[in-house]
């Protein structure tokens, strides 16, 4: 049983002090008429303590929150069902359900009345403001008498886990990406429909059969190119997500990094829908491959979204670790890079990552323009901006399809533009 003095409010303690003072004064001065007042002041906090803190308050609570997996910006609904089963009437009950700031404001509500038995269902709205995993609860109950003399705090143990995932956007179904050449040859390819009949080439290596030389590509590139060996077609794509802290600006859902994560999730889901295997890499290395062993697309999506939900900005200053991991486990005919602020060194490393893949694309956030829209944001130096532009040019000059993503452009718009952009443009 708790110390009654600790449960007393400032008003309750004042009642006790005044009761003692008046009672002693009445005894010392021989004023018996003051004793009833002193007794009332002393008994009021005691009775309040018996009702609020001294007797067992039988409360039951059940909590729900739905949905428990949402994307940034989605609404949620919380519900708390509270039931009181006690023969003794309770004064005022104050309830507060803990909610992290990333999901909204903590709801507070009051129950009062003399009915010893009651049940209430309380619902409240929430909004997923930031990506990550969060916990709502526990529910805090503060019992208080009608005069505010005594309070007693109790806390339930139950909590609810919430996962806020990156926002995914539906991307246009892959359209024909034609890559014309000055030789008059046209090699149409459709992302997501590449197959064994498509021409796959690589650089000539000593010992290659001269009958496998691909003359149009040799003429176009100025070096001997040969057809790749026939192999079983395994449609897969690799996504490289630039998660370096020094490559992004802003904070919260409108930061360049959150947009990059959303873009990576959208592109990955786009290819998963087309039954592609996906490999995802970031600045710190690889992410668990979101392709389930049995090819179940729902499981694949869950693995992908769980991985991206937990992803945080990296302290790595270069993309070396992530690209080395990609080179070590290179697979797939498609390479898609979601980049922040680039440097020529970053671009050269991305060229190494492409090697003999059929297609390589880069969605590059226009971070300098992004940063300019942030009040009080740090200003990139002229050299950093120049390096960023040079990195873009290096990718374009080496047959990458590149599109820039400024703040005002949506991810589906950037993807549509990327599909329509010819290599090297």
Provide the b/e sequence for 314-334 (b: ≥16 CB within 10 Å): bebeebebbbebbeeeeebbb
CATH architecture of the region 176-195+233-420: 3-Layer(aba) Sandwich (3.40)
- pLDDT at residue 328 greater than cutoff 80: no
- pLDDT at residue 312 greater than cutoff 90: yes
Prior bond of 306 cis (ω within 30°):
no
Alpha-carbon dihedral angle through residues 81, 86, 92, 93, given to the nearest 10 degrees: -30
Is residue 354 within 8 A of residue 378, CB to CB? The reply is: no
Alpha-carbon gap, residue 130 to 152, rounded angstroms: 34
Close Cβ partners of 330 (under 8 Å, ≥ 6 residues apart): 238, 353, 355
Nearest residue to 7 (alpha-carbon basis) of 49, 50, 68: 49
- Average pLDDT rounded to a whole number, residues 10-35: 89
Close Cβ partners of 410 (under 8 Å, ≥ 6 residues apart): 169
Q: Which residue has the higher pLDDT, 96 or 372?
A: 96
Alpha-carbon gap, residue 162 to 139, rounded angstroms: 16
- Give the model's pLDDT for residue 320: 87
Query: How is the beta sheet containing 160-165 ordered, strand by strand?
Result: 69-71, 160-165, 132-136
With 0-12 CB in 10 A as exposed, 13-18 as middle and 19+ as buried, what is 171?
buried
Looking at the chain, the whole-number percentage of residues with pLDDT higher than 70 is 82
- CATH, range 59-165: 2.60.40.10
- pLDDT at residue 176 greater than cutoff 60: no
Strands 236-241, 277-282: pairing kind: parallel
Hey, which bits of 244-316 come out as E strands? Answer: 277-282, 285-287
Is residue 213 within 8 A of residue 199, CB to CB? The reply is: no
Nearest residue to 109 (alpha-carbon basis) of 82, 84, 88, 87: 82
Q: What are phi and psi of 225, to 5 degrees?
A: -120, 140
Q: Which residue has the higher pLDDT, 320 or 233?
A: 320
User: Mean pLDDT lowest for which of 54-58, 110-114, 149-153, 173-177?
Assistant: 173-177
What interhelical angle do 344-354 and 382-397 show, nearest 10? 20
Q: What is the mean pLDDT of the chain?
A: 82
Question: Model confidence over 334-381: pLDDT tens digits?
Answer: 899 999 999 999 999 999 888 767 789 999 999 988 877 666 555 688
Nearest residue to 246 (alpha-carbon basis) of 173, 339, 150, 179: 339
- pLDDT at residue 182 greater than cutoff 50: no
Q: How many CB atoms lie within 10 A of CB 89?
A: 12
Residue 179 confidence class, pLDDT cut points 50, 70, 90: very low
Residue 384 confidence class, pLDDT cut points 50, 70, 90: very high
- pLDDT at residue 125 greater than cutoff 80: yes
Close Cβ partners of 284 (under 8 Å, ≥ 6 residues apart): 243, 314, 316, 321, 322
- Give the model's pLDDT for residue 331: 64
- Give the model's pLDDT for residue 192: 40
- Give the model's pLDDT for residue 372: 74
Question: Model confidence over 254-277: pLDDT tens digits?
Answer: 899 999 999 999 999 999 888 888
- Give the model's pLDDT for residue 236: 83
What predicted TM-score, i.e. pTM, was given to this entire model? 0.75
Alpha-carbon gap, residue 18 to 24, rounded angstroms: 10
- Give the model's pLDDT for residue 2: 65
- Average pLDDT rounded to a whole number, residues 182-211: 54
Question: Model confidence over 388-419: pLDDT tens digits?
Answer: 999 999 999 998 999 999 999 999 999 999 88
Q: Is 188 left (phi over 0), alpha (psi -120 to 50) or beta?
A: beta
Token code pair at residue 91: 């004064």
- pLDDT at residue 94 greater than cutoff 90: no
- Average pLDDT rounded to a whole number, residues 75-94: 81
Query: How is the beta sheet containing 277-282 ordered, strand by strand?
Result: 285-287, 277-282, 236-241, 334-339, 359-365, 401-405
Token code pair at residue 263: 């873009």
């Amino acid at each position: 049983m708790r110390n009654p003095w600790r449960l007393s409010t400032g008003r309750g303690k004042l009642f006790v002090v005044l009761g003692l003072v008046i009672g002693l004064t009445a005894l010392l001065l021989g004023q018996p008429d003051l004793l009833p007042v002193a007794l009332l002041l002393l008994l009021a906090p005691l009775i309040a303590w018996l009702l609020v803190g001294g007797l067992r308050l039988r409360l039951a609570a059940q909590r729900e929150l739905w949905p428990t997996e949402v994307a940034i910006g989605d609404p949620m609904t919380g519900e708390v069902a509270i039931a009181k089963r006690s023969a003794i009437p309770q004064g005022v009950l104050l309830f507060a359900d803990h909610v992290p700031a990333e999901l909204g404001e903590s709801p507070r509500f009051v129950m009062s009345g003399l009915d010893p038995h009651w049940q209430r269902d309380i619902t409240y709205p929430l909004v997923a403001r930031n990506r990550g995993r969060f916990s709502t609860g526990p529910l805090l109950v503060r019992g208080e008498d009608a005069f505010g003399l005594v309070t007693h705090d109790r806390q339930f143990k139950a909590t609810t886990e919430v996962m806020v995932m990156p926002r995914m956007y539906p991307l246009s179904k892959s359209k024909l990406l034609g890559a014309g050449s000055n030789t008059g040859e046209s090699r149409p390819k459709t992302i997501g429909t590449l197959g064994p009949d498509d021409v796959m080439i690589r650089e000539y290596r000593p010992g290659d059969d001269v009958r496998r030389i691909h003359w149009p590509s040799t003429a176009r590139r100025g070096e001997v190119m040969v057809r790749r060996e026939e192999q079983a077609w395994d449609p897969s794509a690799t996504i490289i997500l630039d998660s370096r802290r020094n490559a992004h600006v802003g904070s919260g859902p409108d930061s360049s990094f959150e947009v990059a994560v959303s873009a990576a999730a959208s592109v990955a889901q786009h290819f998963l829908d087309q039954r592609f295997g996906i490999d995802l890499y970031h600045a710190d290395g690889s992410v668990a491959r979101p392709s389930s062993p049995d090819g179940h697309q729902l499981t694949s999506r869950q693995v992908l979204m769980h991985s991206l939900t937990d992803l945080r900005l990296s302290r790595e200053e270069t993309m070396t670790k992530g690209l080395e991991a990609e080179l070590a486990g290179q697979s797939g005919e498609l390479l898609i890079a979601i980049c922040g602020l680039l440097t020529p060194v970053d671009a050269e490393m991305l060229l190494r990552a492409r090697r003999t893949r059929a297609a390589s694309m880069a969605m590059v956030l226009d971070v300098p323009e992004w940063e300019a829209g942030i009040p009080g944001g740090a200003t990139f130096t002229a050299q950093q901006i120049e390096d960023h532009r040079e990195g873009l040019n290096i990718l374009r000059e080496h047959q990458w399809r590149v599109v820039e993503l400024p703040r005002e452009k949506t991810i589906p718009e950037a993807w549509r533009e990327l599909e329509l952009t010819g290599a090297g443009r």
